[in-house]
Each structure stands twice: as C-alpha cells, then as structure tokens.
Amino acid sequence: MAEAAFLGVDSSLTGRRWVGPGVEVERAAELLVQRTALPAPVCQVLARRGVAPDEAEAFLVPALRDLLPDPRSLKDMEKAASRFLHALDRREHIAVFADYDVDGGCSAALLLIWLREMGHRATLYVPDRIDEGYGPNEEAMANLAAAHDLIVCVDCGTLSHRPIAAAEGADVIVLDHHLGGETLPEALAVVNPNRQDEDGACAHLCAAAVVFLMLVEAGRQLREAGKRGPDLMGLLDLVALATVADVAPLTGVNRAFVRQGLRVMARRERPGLTALADVARLETAPTAYHLGYLLGPRINAGGRIGQADLGARLLASDDPHETAALAERLDTLNTERREVEAAVRAAALAQAEERGFDAPLVWAAGPGWHPGVVGIVAARLKEAANRPAIVIGLEDGVGKGSGRSVSGIDLGAPIQRLAAEGLLIKGGGHKMAAGLTVAEDKIEAAMARLGELLARQGAHLAGPADLNVTGLLMPGAATVELAEMIDEAGPFGAGAPGPRYAFAEMQILHARRVGESHLKVSFGDGLGGRMDAIAFGAYDGPLGAALEGHGGQRFHLAGRLDINIWRGRQSVQLRLEDAAPA
C-alpha cells in the first residue's frame, strides 16, 4: 500500500503527487538532531544521504585527500602518465584531441594549462560537430600524427578503433569515461573507469576528473624523479565545472571536487572563467547551479552552433583580452542557440505528444534540426514525459541524434547494443546520456528496438514524476544562516538532489508577473512570518495564473531555498516549484 501523499497533495497545480521522507529517513533525521545538535532541516538532508551521526562532521567538510582514488587503481594510468612526461622531457610535439562539450573543453584546458606551466605548448584540436561528428576521425588523426609525436584524446576515443589506427607514427593516449566496448583500440594507453575490465569503483568520474587523476600520477612520478610539477589544487575549478556540466553524480570524490573547485573559482584567478562569469552577469560566489545553468551552456554554445574549439580556448587562455572577446562570442552564440533550440523543441514536442508519452521511449526526428541542440531538446522531452528520450536531426538521409535518460534506466548500453546489431551506424555514451548516428530508413526499426530494450529495464512503468519533499518549514525559520548550513551539505545536483521544503497553508500576500513567464510572490503564515519567492516559467503552466489569481485562498508551497543578494544585503527566498490548494 502506497504511503499517504505529503500534506495530502495527490495532485498539485502541476499535476504531481508530493512524496515526503519515509519513516526510516525521519527516524534517522531525529537521531541526527539528538546526536549532533544540527538544525532539523540540515539533519533531514543528511539522513536522506545516509549519513550517520558520527559521519556528519566529516561529511559537511569533505577532504579531497581522503576521497581521492589512487590514480594507479585505473588500468594503463602509470603507462599514460609516463609517456606524457616522456613527451614533455623530450620536448616532443603533443596534440590534444578533445570533445566539443564542456567536459571535453575542461579536459583539454587541464592538459594545456599544465603543459604551459611546465614551459611546453601543445596543439588543440576539437572536431566540428556537423562536419566531423563526435570523437576522433581517420583524416584528423592521420593529419595530427604527421606533425606530432603524441596525441592525447580526452573525453573521447574509447570506441575509435579505426581513427586511432590511422594515427601512424604517433603514440595515442585515451583519457575518457564513456562506456567501453568488448575490445579497445590499439592505443598506447586507454585510461577509462568505464572500460569493461574495470571494477566500476570510479565509474562516476567525468573525463576531466580522469585527466586530473593522470596529472596527479604525473606529479607523483615527477616527485619520484626529484622534480616538481604545477599546483593541481588550482585546477579544480575546471574539474568542478566539467563534473556539474556533464551531470556526473555529486557523491564521493565528485562532491569534494565540486566543493573545492567552487572555492577556487570564487577567487576569480582564471581569466576565461572570470570573463564568462562577467558576461553571464554572475555577481555572487558561484554555486553548482551557476556551473550547470549559466557557465556550462555558454561554453557548450561554441560546439553546438559555432566554432567547436571556442570553449576550450577560453578555458585554457591566460590572456584577459583574448578571454574577454571569446566570452562575448560565446554569450552571443548561446543566445542564438536558445532561439534554434526553441524552434526544434516546439516541433519535437508536438511530434512526440502525437506519438504518445506512454511508451518506454519518447522520440522525435525531423529534417534540418540542428545537431547542436538535439541533446538539449531530448532533455526537455525526458522531463515532460518522465521517460528516456531521443531527438534526431535528419540531413541527406542520415540522422544524428542525442538521448537523455531518467534515473534507474541505462540508455548508453542499449544504444551501444543497437550499433552492434547494425541498426545504428554508430552509437554510445553513458547511462544517462548517449549519442547516435542512424540511416533515415532505419530510424523506425531502431527506435522500436530501443524501446524494447528499455522496457526490459522498466522504462514504461514510470508515471508522472513525483515531487519529493524533504520536510516542512515555516517562513520565520528560513533564515540566511539556515540556508548557509544546508549548503554545507551540498553541492546538490545529479545523484544528490537539493532539498525541497514545503510551507503549509500559506497566505499569498502579493503576486505579480515578471518578464515573459516568471512569477514573484510574497507569502506569509498569518503569524507574522513572511517570505519572498520566485517561480521561473510559472506562466508556461498553470502555476502562475493560479497563484496570481489566488482570491484569498491558502496554498501549500514547495521549493528550494536560495540566498538572494540585493545591494549588498542577503535574504532568503524560495525558488518556488509547485503549489497546491490547502
């Protein structure tokens, strides 16, 4: 028998059922309150993360040195670092071949910056998304091999057998995290926690984290030789950005990477990130939210609809004039990307709705849909249907698509299987995201087969997404101090969802529309406590109109706490996500 809905909300204004913490989590939270003297809302977050009372202090202040895996636990790591240092020592020509997304850009920047600090310059190569597609290609690798002694493929290369074989005369190192196949390419070293012969202990790392571990190993080998390498802690801003933007789970060492990286980023010492933060009008200390929704999309914009290497160049540059120009260009491209995305999203959503949201897979395909935005649109379809989603752009009889999955459903492995079965030209990725290339006349068969494989995992059983609520709060208890303490249990994101609090039976004191679709609200409990809230996109659904036209009715409100800074003053506001009549 299902537990009663939280506050009795079986269907909110957005059609969701509110689900509160289970009995075991509530008991664990009570024990934490008794043993730690931490505020109850903080203990609710820790209990949901499975933190025991004697672990609370260490969890709130995670030490990277205690959580960092031994780089040598990954296969080929010592060999990769040794060859990398040999190239540095012999002043060989080194090329870095990087994917065009944030993770690839950060991975490349880590190597370029490290080498520059060691007095060595490397060549950056980022393939064009449309002309070359994802990962190494034979022509590019052959050309790079003709002019370089070592090619390092970052965030790509694990499935690139023929392109790596084409790199005659050069050694190739792969530093990647995408799902590996049954065989590996003939590279000198393939360092990838998602190789099939790895134990999976580091499977949650993004590519930039794998690159960072290689640099840790390189530093160790340098020290053993009586030499010193660059300060690696100062590079953690790039690892943090990649971890969040690539939607890696913010648990274990990833959480420590992001916490420490945010501190590094707040010092504004990297010209590229400083310039990007300025054009994004980021006026506060960065958070994981800013990495995922302000900085990441702008870095991605170059690879999506502009020049593929812009993001990596921005991140690696130490020239403030160059970074200012690159940041402005990326900001402009991001605006253009949003316009392209909006058109594709509308067409894809209409097609997918007509096909139906009840199947194990939601998908859409259309001619001329820009391959740079199909992944973002797939994420929107996934959110709308609570199902794995694929969006494919068609051109000249070939479809290039991208997919996003829901929690608990592996998308990457089935897509890789379809490629092996011949239904796709190529395909691969992670559990939560994947890419594919498919002949237009095979799309229907491929999507039907993919739906079958996803159904075996239970993808067709999910209903509308529930709204998980961490606990109850009163406006008077929602202080800046409490919000800061809750932040200490973060950062929050993939694999570590941020806490969401409900405010029961609130009076709507003031509500007004701001911008095209947002809603500003002030609410109170009738006892003197009051609070402000912002609901982004509220008028894209029923939330905005219902709260603006409240007519004196009381509502249960749910959302996340934010610290708002206005003219130097801090206050707490609710990022309102849902509401229900009380």
Q: What is the DSSP letter of 199?
A: -
Question: Cα(first)–Cα(last) distance of the chain, in Å?
Answer: 24
Look at residue 360 in the predicted model and tell me its pLDDT.
Answer: 95
Q: Please choose, from the candidates 474, 454, 299, 288, the residue with its C-alpha nearest in 3D space to the C-alpha of residue 382.
A: 454
Look at residue 540 in the predicted model and tell me its pLDDT.
Answer: 86
| Mean pLDDT in residue range 196-217 | 97
Can you read off the two tokens belonging to residue 450?
Answer: 């993919």
pTM of structure: 0.90
Give the pLDDT band (50/70/90) at residue 432.
confident
Which residues, at least 6 apart from 579, have a Cβ–Cβ distance to it below 8 Å?
A: 12, 13, 543, 546, 547, 555, 556, 557, 558
**Which pLDDT tens digit goes with each residue over 317-338?**
999 999 999 999 999 999 999 9
Give the pLDDT band (50/70/90) at residue 569.
confident
Which helix (H) or strand (E) segment is 147 a member of?
Answer: helix 138-147
Look at residue 258 in the predicted model and tell me its pLDDT.
Answer: 97
Can you read off the two tokens belonging to residue 539?
Answer: 């008028």
| Mean pLDDT in residue range 487-496 | 90
- For residue 362, the cross-strand partners are 389
What string of DSSP letters covers 289-344? HHIIIIIHHHHHHHHHHS-TTHHHHHHH---HHHHHHHHHHHHHHHHHHHHHHHHH
Q: In whole angstroms, what is the distance from residue 147 CA to residue 170 CA? A: 9
Q: In whole angstroms, what is the distance from residue 234 CA to residue 151 CA? A: 25
Q: Is the pLDDT of residue 3 over 80?
A: no
Q: Which of 49-53, 171-175, 281-285 comes out lowest in average pLDDT?
A: 281-285
Q: In whole angstroms, what is the distance from residue 172 CA to residue 156 CA? A: 12
Can you read off the two tokens belonging to residue 58?
Answer: 């260490």
Give the pLDDT band (50/70/90) at residue 564.
confident
Look at residue 230 in the predicted model and tell me its pLDDT.
Answer: 97
Residue type, 241: L
Look at residue 1 in the predicted model and tell me its pLDDT.
Answer: 45
Which helix (H) or strand (E) segment is 571 a member of?
Answer: strand 569-581
Q: Are 511 and 552 in contact (CB under 8 A)?
A: no
Q: Which residue is associated with the tokens 């004039």?
A: 321
**Which pLDDT tens digit goes with each residue over 345-373?**
999 999 999 998 889 999 999 999 999 99
> How many angstroms separate the most distant Cα atoms in the chain?
77
Kindly provide the b/e burial profile for residues 546-581, where b requires at least 16 CB atoms within 10 angstroms of the residue's own CB: bbbebeeebbbbbbbbbebeeeeeeebbbbbbbbbe
Q: Is the pLDDT of residue 2 over 70?
A: no
Q: In whole angstroms, what is the distance from residue 357 CA to residue 335 CA? A: 30
Which helix (H) or strand (E) segment is 503 a member of?
Answer: strand 501-514
Q: In whole angstroms, what is the distance from residue 339 CA to residue 337 CA? A: 5
Bridge-based pairing of strands 171-175 and 189-191 is: parallel
| Mean pLDDT in residue range 366-385 | 93
| Mean pLDDT in residue range 385-394 | 95
Vertex 188 angle, CA 184 and 191, to 5°: 60
Q: In whole angstroms, what is the distance from residue 423 CA to residue 437 CA? A: 10
**Which pLDDT tens digit goes with each residue over 458-475?**
998 866 678 999 999 999
Look at residue 160 in the predicted model and tell me its pLDDT.
Answer: 96
| Mean pLDDT in residue range 425-453 | 94
Positive or negative, the CA dihedral 330, 335, 338, 343 is: negative
Describe the crossing of helices 296-305 and 236-245 by its angle, rounded to 10 degrees: 70
Look at residue 9 in the predicted model and tell me its pLDDT.
Answer: 96
Q: Which residue is associated with the tokens 């969802």?
A: 497
Q: What is the DSSP letter of 9?
A: -
